[in-house]
Structure 1
Amino acid sequence: MPKNRRAIASRQQKLAQIAASWLLLFAILTTTIIPSSVGAQDERVTVRLDGRSVFRVSAVEKTDAEARARQIERRMNRLLENPAAIAAPQIETTRADRAERVITIAGVPVVTVTPTDAQDNLTTVNALATQWSQAINIALKQASGRRLSPWGRFVAEVQASIATAFGRLLESAIAIIPRAIASGLVIGLFWAIAATVRWLMRIIFRHIVEDLTVENLIKQVAYYAVWTLGVIVALDAFGFDPRTVATGLGLTGLALGFALKDILSNFVSGILILILRPFELGDQIVVGETEGSVERIELRATQLRTYDGRVVLVPNAEVFTSRIINNTDAPIRRSSVELFIGYDSNLQKVVNVVTDAAQSAAGVLAEPRVSVRIRELGQDDVAIEVRFWTDSRRSDFVATTSAVRMAIVGALKHAGIGLPDPDVRILVPRYSDKWQDALGVGNSSQSHNSES
């Protein structure tokens, strides 16, 4: 059951990381990249009158398609303010560019037909101008008929606003939803590819690479490389130019660097930890106030499991910049036990007994041998330090230290050497007031105060 919970928690953590990454990417695209990409693509936008589609226009020079369509709609709505003045549309040639055609109504220009419009509609400028003029004429006649009375004009305006809003929403949905589905399918495909690549590399490197840290580095680099490729393909499927996206990221890199400096610092520190390898998977390290076994080294944080079973995620930036104590970098480790002996004991005999007892304890290595030092001469006893070497693993280290203590105590008792037992003890009476009255201490102090 605990394994299932840990698996579920790990899966939820991974999903949360993926969701956070996508939210961050969406925020970047929304604020910086999407506007420039849309402006670069300039897809055609529908011109509507009373919510009904009239024709579609493209971007021209510095005016995007959206702004151009809204400008044409405003001109036609102004013409509807005076339906009696509406006449048949006329097609005229502009003085600035003979290749363009201007559709006018009662001398008022409504829309300019450009060669770009003709190319987007796969026709000529004259043919397209004729089509648009006929569409405008029909749309204005129908709109004028709906505005013959004040009430009819009110109803027409309300219906037009509602129909226009829903029409634009439907048009956006038709354009975006297929791309979003395609982008989601691409992401799902590359997620499966990334998971498969990581699984295959785990199987392959299990028989080739013995270093788990190197295996972890290669797996993560390959995994995120596939994900990066998948994001690029998904953006292309959504309709963005990857070069435009790269340009947008480059232009906003400085601002994102300041905003995401902690995340980037953890990411770079994670790569440096995996490359420099100050510790490996399975090592028992101390980082700041945290001590435990290294379970995972990810690009964001290092996962430690403390000796009481808790999982601690330490940010890689903190790990990389902190002083690290690697307890298991060497296979053996020295420990020490301190004990106190009275001055009436034979120190040479105590040293010999303690040395033999510690050397015979379970887990103590034969080489280097046990050493005993007189560490301090106290007021009431002599402090002796026993040093010995054992396996550097925490479990073996603690168990061996405990075994040495037990062996020393047992050997000292067997040799008849007693441990310190102070003869002087301080006794505190339970009822101090009664003792003072019985000894006359309180009365003498009171009389002394009265005389003074």
Structure 2
Amino acid sequence: MLNHFGRLLSLYVVLALLLAGALAPRAARAQEGYATVRVDGQALFRLGALDNEDAKTRARRAEESLTNALDSLPAPLLVRRVPAASPPGSEEITVAGRRVVLVTPTDAEGHGMTVAALSEQWSSVIERALAQAAERRRSTWDRFVNAIQSSVQTAFASILESAIVVVPRAIAAALVIAVFWLIASVVRWLMRLIFRRIVSDLTVENLIKQIAYYAVWALGMLVAATAFGLDPEALATGLGLTSLALGFALKDILSNFVSGLLILTLRPFRLGDQIVIGPTEGSVERIELRATMIRTYDGRMISVPNSETFTSRVTNNTASPIRRGTVAVHLGYSVTLPLAFETIHQATQQAEGVLDEPPSSVRLRSLEPDHLVLEARFWTDSLRSDYVLTASRVRVAILDGLRGAGVPLPDSVVQVDLLPRHDPDGAHGPPDSPS
């Protein structure tokens, strides 16, 4: 019951966040394409872009004109509206005969007003702001304090305006990523559920799951970038221009990714196989697009990069269902070889875990100075646990068989030979007896 309630609550939260993410970009788009004109940190009005000038440049030019008028001309400053030469129907707002801002039909349309009404509104705002700014500039100290205050106010206001635009976009992008993460997880679960019944190869199942999972993630990142306000075409162009730098910076990651795809496609080994890669030996638990996860025989999990796995020599101990094992037997020169051969062969063949086919065999491997080395060969299951256990049983069986047949076993006795001392006169005799 609690689990069901938790799922319903999570669903409602996700739906609410999706609704907020859908409404947030609208509020953000309302702030786009405009820049605020300020005097001493006080916001006056917002300007849009023109055909030959962006909004920030227009706002900065208007602010510079107002600041220069305040610093160079005595108060009170005369604010007027005059018709502009171009574009047709525009008006100029001037301060002491200097143009501060051009009011165009585009500005009027964006504010839902006529050019005359918008020009009148901005003129009144500029006149009040200049009067207040001139009042704050009566002395040098007042100018100094006012400059600090206006700089701080402008900085915080710019941060707030940027946050109004960026934060909703970031929230929308984060929500998109969360939704696509949920979709990718569901897709991977469905792939596991479906292909486990129709595909018996775990490696193929793993390949399909990962391709579907990362494909959904790639689509989600593209949608999240669009929700953040990035143009997909501009993003692709930027990535194309920086592909060389990214290639050098991410060459190891890309190499592991491509190697992972090749491993999953060519399948030199599968999940559950026992392999040896350099100093690492164990069972393959997962084949990811970045690394191959190997569980060693002592229980440790080791991540081997796919580029190293693909380019290194890999020994697959379980590629074949059976595996040959060998046991070395050391005997002295006094043994009867036919009896030793027969005893070792019977003991090996009768050991638990040794296969009847192919049959076991015994051969003389080498003649050492103080002993013979015989080698018993047998076939068993290729899994390491079975192989190691069978080899141990073969050793025990050989030892019992040799003892039962009366074949002498070598003793670990160190033999010391005393050599005669060299006589300088050329005679070799026994060493001198102690006096």
Tell me the TM-score normalized by structure 1: 0.80
> For the residues of structure 2 that align with 1:233 and 1:91, how far apart are their CA atoms?
48
In 1, Cα distance between equivalents of 2:41 and 2:123: 18
Asked if 1 retains the 8 angstrom alpha-carbon contact of 2:76 and 2:131, the reply is no
- Structure-2 residue corresponding to 1:258: 248
Offset at residue 294 of structure 1 (A)? 0.6
Change (3 A) 1:255 1:101: farther
C-alpha separation between the residues in 2 aligned to 1:108 and 1:368? 104
| From 64, 78, 83, the counterpart of 1:87 | 78
Q: CA deviation at 1:324?
A: 0.8
Counterparts of 1:236 and 1:423 in 2: how far apart (Å)? 82
**Alignment correspondent of 1:418:** 408
Offset at 1:191? 1.3
Please, which moves more after superposition, 260-269 or 144-153?
144-153
Q: Which deviations, in whole Å up to 9, do the C-alpha atoms of 1:279-332 show, x marking residues without a partner?
A: 111111111111111111111111111111111101111111111111111111
Task: Identify unmatched segments of 5+ residues in structure 2.
Answer: 1-30, 419-430
Q: Which piece of structure 1 moves more, 107-116 or 74-83?
A: 107-116
Q: How is 1:375-386 mapped onto 2 (pairs within 5 angstroms)?
A: 375-386=365-376
**Partner residue of 1:138?**
128
Q: Secondary structure at the match of 1:338?
A: strand
Match of 1:272 in 2: 262
Select the residue among 102, 109, 113 that pairs with 2:99.
Answer: 109
Identical positions, percent: 57
Q: Secondary structure at the match of 1:84?
A: coil
Distance 1:189 1:343 in 2: 78
Q: Give ranges in structure 1 of 5+ residues lacking alignment.
A: 1-40, 429-438, 445-452
Match of 2:213 in 1: 223
SS at match of 2:99: strand
Q: Structure 1 residue 104: deviation in Å? A: 2.6
Q: Distance in 1 between matches of 2:104 and 2:245?
A: 40
The one of 335, 338, 344 equivalent to 1:345 is: 335
1:107 is displaced (CA, Å) by: 3.0
Q: Point out the structure with the larger helix share.
A: 1
Aligned: 1:193 with 2:193:
no
CA–CA distance in structure 2, aligned partners of residues 213 and 83 of structure 1: 83
Number of aligned positions between the proteins: 393
Query: Residue type of the partner of 1:295?
Result: E
Contact kept, 8 Å, 2:136 with 2:146, in 1: the verdict is yes
Match of 1:38 in 2: none
- Give, in angstroms, the shift of residue 60 of structure 1: 4.0
For the residues of structure 2 that align with 1:141 and 1:381, how far apart are their CA atoms? Answer: 113
2:299 alignment counterpart: 309
Q: Secondary structure at the match of 1:379?
A: coil
Paired amino acid for 2:273:
D
In the TM superposition, residue 243 of structure 1 has moved relative to its aligned partner by 2.1
The answer to whether the 8 A contact 1:373-1:385 is kept is yes
- Report the counterpart of residue 160 of structure 1 in structure 2: 150
When the two chains are superposed, the root-mean-square deviation of aligned CA atoms in Å is: 2.7
- What is the deviation of 1:59? 3.5
Tell me the distance in 2 between the aligned counterparts of 1:184 and 1:278.
39
Distance 1:293 1:263 in 2: 24
Distance (whole Å) between structure 1 residues aligned to residue 338 and residue 397 of structure 2: 18
The match for 2:66 among 54, 68, 76 is: 76
Match of 2:382 in 1: 392
Pick one of 175, 179, 191 that aligns with 2:165: 175
Partner-residue secondary structure (3-state), 1:183:
helix
Does the Cα contact within 8 Å between 1:146 and 1:152 map onto a contact in 2? yes
Q: Which moved more, 1:337-346 or 1:83-92?
A: 83-92
Contact 1:42 1:59 survives alignment (8 Å) = no
Distance (Å, rounded) in 1 between the aligned partners of 2:265 and 2:118: 63
How many angstroms apart in 2 are the aligned matches of 1:339 and 1:247?
70
